[in-house]
Amino acid sequence: MPNRNLKKMNGKNILIIGAGGQIGTVLHDKLTELYGSEKVYATDIKAQPERNIIGLDVLDAEGLDNMIETNKIQVIFHLAAILSAKGEQNPKRAWEINMGGLFNVLELAVKHAIEKVFYPSTIAVFGDHIPLTNTPNHVPLVPATVYGISKVAGELWAEYYYNRHGLDVRSIRYPGVIGYQSLPGGGTTDYAVDIFHSEAKNEEYTCFLSEDAALPMIYMDDCIKATIDIMNAPKESITCRTSYNVSGMSFSPIEIATEIQKRNPDFRVKYIPDFRQQIASSWPQSIDDSLARKDWGWTPSFNLSQLVDIMMQNVRKIYSKTEY
């Protein structure tokens, strides 16, 4: 059956900002596959000419203005950000990039009458005073990290621009994203990707979270599907203009390690929690994504066992290790 939704961005000129990052890399490939390389423009702080990614700092408003104007951009995916763990190393810089980048995008989107903007939020918006399991969409947001604070502010600015300027900004709170195509950088959930690289290299993995630190997670394909689906949803179905909880699964380090050990009994993990454990402790263990399911039909396709199969097979290929 043809997917009606795939048509919605057809023919539009799309810009991905942060196309060299963990999610941007895979989103860039998927949007190019769906809509054609001539319709998809990509920027990142680091140029990658071989992947058609132009070097552009999201804080360079004039450069971004030219990019949008020259290429008659109609849809923007703004993915550039400093994540939770890296943000704590230099909070002021994280604030400048996360907020300055967003303001540039929102202002230029209004100026150029951009049709739709995607702005990712995160489980890092959550903090004290909430149930930590099955956390609802609408709860007090009291984050403990500068990343979380910037994303709460960003969610509110997204809603403000929608109310004030009619700018169609759509947002998802990403859980930890796990994929083999790219590496995460500077997040608290990065362990769930790193662990597969250690397994493939026949190394013991040292986990920086406690073995029981359960967090909401999602497989990359589901993350990309959610991102494209919300952007293709009819405008009237988007009832939440801050951000939607979206979840794929939920697990702790020992649960994923056990799943890997079922396939490789020799694999070893030790736990030496560092400052990132404190960040993880402030986040939900699982989130309720029923609003996304109701409004735009969100439903994940991958569970933990499937994720481990796909990750082990594909990360092993990177290191030319034989499949199990």
- Which residues are tagged catalytic? 147
User: What is the DSSP secondary structure assignment for residue 168, as one 8-state letter?
Assistant: -
Tokens 């500077």: give the residue.
Answer: 186
In whole angstroms, what is the distance from residue 216 CA to residue 242 CA? 19
Task: Give SS3 for 302.
Answer: coil
If the CB atoms of residues 13 and 189 are measured against ligand SER, the closer one turns out to be 189
Q: How far is CA 318 from CA 149, 205, 225, 249, in A?
A: 36, 17, 24, 25
User: Closest separation between CB of residue 122 and ligand SER, Å?
Assistant: 3
Largest CA-CA distance found in the chain, in angstroms, rounded: 58
Q: Which region, left, alpha or beta, applies to residue 275 given φ > 0 means left and ψ of -120 to 50 means alpha?
A: alpha
Contact 251, 214 (CB under 8 A): yes
Contact 9, 73 (CB under 8 A): no
Task: Give SS3 for 169.
Answer: strand
User: Closest separation between CB of residue 114 and ligand SER, Å?
Assistant: 24
222 Cβ partners below 8 Å, 6+ apart?
248, 300, 301, 302
If the CB atoms of residues 123 and 249 are measured against ligand SER, the closer one turns out to be 123
If the CB atoms of residues 40 and 102 are measured against ligand SER, the closer one turns out to be 102
User: Closest separation between CB of residue 22 and ligand SER, Å?
Assistant: 8
Residues in contact with ligand SER by the rule CB under 6 A: 83-84, 122-124, 147, 174, 176, 187-189
Using CB atoms, what's the residue nearest to ligand SER? 187
- Residue 121 — φ and ψ, nearest 5°? -110, -160
User: Closest separation between CB of residue 104 and ligand SER, Å?
Assistant: 21
User: Closest separation between CB of residue 288 and ligand SER, Å?
Assistant: 17
